[in-house]
Structure 1
Amino acid sequence: MNRHVQLAICVVGIYFSFLYWAYLQEKLTSSNYSNSSIDPAYFKSPLIIHIIQSLFSIIIGTIYITTIGDYKPLLNNFSKSFFNLYIISISQTISSPLSYSSLNYVDYLLFLLTKSCKLIPVMLVHYILFGTKYKKSKYLVALIITIGVSIFTIATSSSKSNKHNNNGNNDQIYGFILLIASLLLDGFTNSAQDIMLKKDNSINGGCLMVGLNICTFFNLLIYTLTFTDQFNYIKTFVLNNGYAVIYDLLKFALCGAIGQIFIFITLEKFSSVVLITVTVTRKMLSMAISVILFGHSLNLSQWFGIILVFAGIGLESALKIFKPKQKDKVL
C-alpha cells in the first residue's frame, strides 16, 4: 500500500477514535456523577482509568495481531524483547497516572496545552539519549506548532472553570509540575518505542502495543492492590452514584484501545515525530470540541493559534513532498 494512503488511514483512525476519547476523558474528570442535587460527586481514580484502558488495549491489540498474523516474531524472540518492553512500560506506567492526577489541580485546556507540546521533548530525548539528529526544518515545524498550541490555549477565556479545582495557586503549580513530569516521561516513551521498532526485528507496532500494555497493566494492578484503596473507592462510588461512570469508562477504554492500534502502526511505519505531529493536531481539534461542548469561548487569538498549528503541519507536508530523493541519515 502507498505510504501516503497508509498515513491517511492512520490519521483518520487516530482522529475518529481519540476525538471521542478526549471528550470522554474530560467528561470523566470534570463531570458531576452524583444522583443528588446537593452533594456533587467527581470521579478521582486515575489508576483505575489507566488499568481499564490497558486491559482493553491488550484485548483489542491481541485480536488485531492475531487477525493479521504478526505475533510469531515476538513469541519467538520474547526473552530478547522483554527487557526493553518492561523498561518502556515503567515510564508509561508512571506517566499516565501523573497526567490524570494533574486534572485534579488544573483545567482541561491547560492539560491539553501541556500534553500537546510533545514534539520538543521527543526530539530532545531522541537527541540526548539516542544521538538522533534532525534537520533544521524539523525544529522549525516543532516550534511553530508548539507556539500555535500555546497561543490557542493561553488565549482561551474559559467561562466554565473546573468545578473541583478551587485549592489556590499552590495546587495549580503542583498540577503543572505533574504535567511537566508526565511530558518528559512521554518524551522518553515515544523515543524509546521509535528506536525499538527500528532496531528490533522481532517486534512490530501491534506486538509493541500488546507487550507494553501487558507490562503496564500488571505494574498498575500490583501497585493499586498493594498501596491504594482505589478498587474499594470505585465500588463505593458506583453504589452511591450509579453506573453512568462505568459506561463512560468502558467507552473511553474502547476508543483508546482502537486508537492505539493506529498509533502503533504510525509509529512502526513512520516515526515518533510524524506520530506526534498527527496527535498534536488531534489535540487541537479536541480543544475546539472542549470549547464548544464544555462552555469555553473562542477569540481572535485562538484562531491565530489554530492557523499557526496548521501552517506548521502544512510546512512539514510541503517539505516531505518537495525534498530531494536521496538517502540522508539526518531525519
Structure 2
Amino acid sequence: MRSKIIIGIVLALCVLATWLFGHLYQELLFIYEQTGTLTDSEYSWVFRLLLNLVGYSTVLLPCYVLYKYLEKSNYFDKIANNSWVSRMLYACFSEHDRIPESTKPVKVEENTKNEGLELAFCFTGLMGAYLVWGLLQEKIMTQNYVMPDGTLLRFNDSQFLVFINRLLGFLIALTRLLSTGQQIIAAPLYKFSYCSLTNIISAWCQYEALKYVSFPTQVLSKSCKVIPVMLMGKLISRNKYETYEYITALLISIGMVLFMFGSHDDASTWGATSASGVCLLALYMWCDSFTSSWQGALFRRHALRPLQMLCAVNLCSCALTAAALLHRAAPHRATANLLRHPMFVADCALLSASSAVGQLLIYRTIARFGPVLFTIIMTLRQAVSILVSCAVYGHSISAIGGVGVVLVFTSVSLRIYCRKRKPAAVK
C-alpha cells in the first residue's frame, strides 16, 4: 500500500512538471511570436527548433524522472503486475524482455529462397510510396493554396505535418495488430523514444529545409547518406563492415553526386543553398542515420515485427509532437484556415497515407536486410525517380550524369555480389 501511495505521488509530481514545462513553453512561444527580429531572421528555424525541443521536454523530462525513480526503487521487483497502472508502467519502463525466448519469431535471415523477391518487393514499394510522398511534400511546403476569397496561403507549420503523418501511421499499425491478435508493445516503450525523437527532428528538418534549399538539393543530400548510416551503425551496434562495403558506399555517394548534377539542363534549377539549408540538411542526415541504426539494433535485440516497430515509434512520436502542439496558446492561423481547404486536406491525407506505407516498408526492410542496405535501396529510389522524370519531361542527362548512373548501379551490383559470396559479413 505504501508503494502505491509513493508511486501515486510521483505520478502526480510528473503531471505537475508537465504542466509547468507546458506553461514555460507557452511563454517562450509568445515571446518568439511577438519579437519580429526573431521571426524575420534567416535563422529563425533555430528558435523554432529550440521551441520544439522545449515542447518535447514536457513529456520526456517527467518520464525520465519517473523511470529513474522506478529503477532506483526496484519497483518491478516489489509490485505485482496486476493493476492498470503497474501494467502501464511495466510496458513503458520495464527492462524485462517482453517476448520469451521460446515464442520469438524465427529470424527471417534463415530463409534465403525468396530473398530476391523480398528485396524487389521492398524496393518497388518504397519507390512508389516515397515518390508520391516526395511530390506532395514539395507541393505542400512550397506552393500557395488559393482560398475561396481569392487570397493565397502557404503552409509553414512543419510540426503539424509531422504530427498528422505519425498519427495515421500509428492508427494503421494499431488497427492491424489488434485485428490479428499480435502483441502491441513487444519491448519497453521508452527504448523507442530515442529513435522517435530523432525521427521527428529529422522529419521537421526535412520540411524546414525546403524553405531554404531547392528540392533537388535536398535529394542530393539524401543520396550521400550511406556512409553516415554505416558510421552510426558502427557507433551504436558495434557493427563490423568489410572493406568492400566501405568502398561501394563511397562509390555510390560519388556516383549519385555526379548523376544529380548531370540530370538537369540548367544548373540554376538547383537554387541557392543558404547556410541555414546546409545546417538543416546536416542535422537531418545525422538524426536519420541514428534512427535507422537504432531501429536495426531494436529489431535484433527484441525480435520485433515491422508492425510492432511502426506502432511503438509512432506512438512515441505522436506523444512528443502533440505535446508541442497542444501547449500552444492557439494554433497557427494559416494552418487553421488551410484545414478548411479541400485540396490541402486531400494532400495531407494522401501524404500521411504514403508516409505510413513507406514507414511500414522501411521497418520491414531494416528487419530483413539491415539499415545499410535499406539506405542503398532509398538511394537507388532517388536515381530511378530522376530517370523517370527525365523520360517524362524530356530532360537530358549529360555525360557526367551517365557516368554517375553507371557508377551507382555497378557499385550496387558489386555489393550484392560480395554479399552473396560472404553471407557472414551481413551478421
Pairwise CA distance, 1:63: 3.4
Gap regions ≥5 residues in structure 2: 1-112
In structure 1, what is the equivalent of residue 164 of structure 2?
52
In structure 2, what is the equivalent of residue 223 of structure 1?
324
| 2:311 maps to 1:204 | no
| 2:349 maps to 1:250 | yes
Select the residue among 410, 418, 424 that pairs with 1:319.
Answer: 418
| 2:199 maps to 1:100 | no
**In 2, distance between residues paired with 1:105 and 1:294?**
25
Pairwise CA distance, 1:295: 9.2
Q: Deviations over 1:73-129 (max 9, x none)?
A: x53x55xx2121112211112111011101000000010111222211111111123
- Residue 145 of structure 2 aligns to a residue whose secondary structure is coil
**In 2, distance between residues paired with 1:209 and 1:102?**
25
Pairwise CA distance, 1:306: 2.2
- Residue 308 of structure 1 aligns to a residue whose secondary structure is helix
Identity of matched residues, %: 24
**In 2, distance between residues paired with 1:2 and 1:116?**
28
**In 2, distance between residues paired with 1:123 and 1:324?**
18
Pairwise CA distance, 1:24: 1.6
Pairwise CA distance, 1:308: 1.9
Partners of 1:47 and 1:230 within 8 A in 2: no
| 2:21 maps to 1:21 | no
Select the residue among 139, 142, 152 that pairs with 2:259.
Answer: 152
What TM-score results when the alignment is normalised by the length of structure 2?
Answer: 0.67
- Residue 211 of structure 2 aligns to a residue whose secondary structure is coil
- Residue 33 of structure 1 aligns to a residue whose secondary structure is strand
Which range is displaced more, 126-135 or 106-115?
Answer: 126-135
- Residue 134 of structure 1 aligns to a residue whose secondary structure is coil
Partners of 1:160 and 1:294 within 8 A in 2: no
**In 2, distance between residues paired with 1:283 and 1:276?**
11
The alpha-carbon distance between structure 1 residues 214 and 294, as it changes in their structure 2 partners (threshold 3 A), is farther
In structure 2, what is the equivalent of residue 43 of structure 1?
155
Select the residue among 273, 284, 301 that pairs with 1:182.
Answer: 284
**In 2, distance between residues paired with 1:107 and 1:293?**
20
The alpha-carbon distance between structure 1 residues 235 and 277, as it changes in their structure 2 partners (threshold 3 A), is same
The alpha-carbon distance between structure 1 residues 15 and 146, as it changes in their structure 2 partners (threshold 3 A), is same
| Number of positions where the alignment pairs a residue of Structure 1 with one of Structure 2 | 314
Greater relative contact order (CA < 8 Å, ≥ 6 in sequence):
1
Pairwise CA distance, 1:139: 0.8
In structure 2, what is the equivalent of residue 111 of structure 1?
218
What TM-score results when the alignment is normalised by the length of structure 1?
Answer: 0.84
Pairwise CA distance, 1:154: 3.0
| 2:399 maps to 1:300 | yes
| 2:114 maps to 1:12 | no
Which 4+ stretches in 1 moved above 6 angstroms? 36-39, 292-296
**In 2, distance between residues paired with 1:32 and 1:296?**
26
Matching of residues 257-296 of structure 1 within 5 Å: 257-289=356-388
Which range is displaced more, 12-21 or 211-220?
Answer: 12-21
Q: CA RMSD in A?
A: 2.8
**In 2, distance between residues paired with 1:259 and 1:20?**
10
